[in-house]
Structure 1
Amino acid sequence: MRITTFRAMLADEFGAGHAETIAHDHVFAALGGRTVDQALEAGVPTKEIWQAVCEAFEVPPDRR
């Protein structure tokens, strides 16, 4: 998944402003204690990041 697609999915699920806050501030244990932005910079695949976000925020399976 492309980063632009990932960012669009994040914004669609949480709203643009909240998505930016999640990406910048929320630390995910499943991403090794990184934020979304840090994980992207470290080269973690976007699918893996999306799965971590969905698990942490209990996104329903049909929207994952």
Structure 2
Amino acid sequence: MRLTDFWERMNEHFGAAYADSFARDHVMAALGGRTVHEALAEGWDAKDVWRAVCVSVEVPEHLR
């Protein structure tokens, strides 16, 4: 998954204003205690990060 696809999905689910806030502030166990921004900066694959977001906030199936 490309980063542009990842951010499109984040914006679609959370809204453009909240997506970045969530990605910056929400620490997820599935990401080893990291935020989305931290995981991506450390080289995590965007697809794996998106899967962690989906599990964390129960993203509807049609947006996964």
SS in 1 for 2:58: coil
Question: Does the residue aligned with 2:23 lie in a helix, a strand or coil?
Answer: helix
Q: Tell me what 2:42 maps to.
A: 42
Q: TM-score, normalised by structure 2?
A: 0.94
Q: Which residue of 2 aligns with 1:58?
A: 58
**Greater RCO, CA 8 A, separation 6+:** 2
Aligned length: 64
- Runs (4+) of structure 1 exceeding 3 A deviation are none
- Could you tell me the TM-score, scaled by structure 1's length? 0.94
Secondary structure of 2:44's match?
coil
Give the aligned partner of residue 31 of structure 2: 31
Shift of 1:61: 1.9
SS in 2 for 1:52: helix
Please state whether the residue corresponding to 1:34 is helix, strand or coil. Answer: coil
Aligned pairs for 1:11-30 within 5 A: 11-30=11-30
- Structure 2 distance, partners of 1:19, 1:62, is 18
Q: CA RMSD in A?
A: 0.8
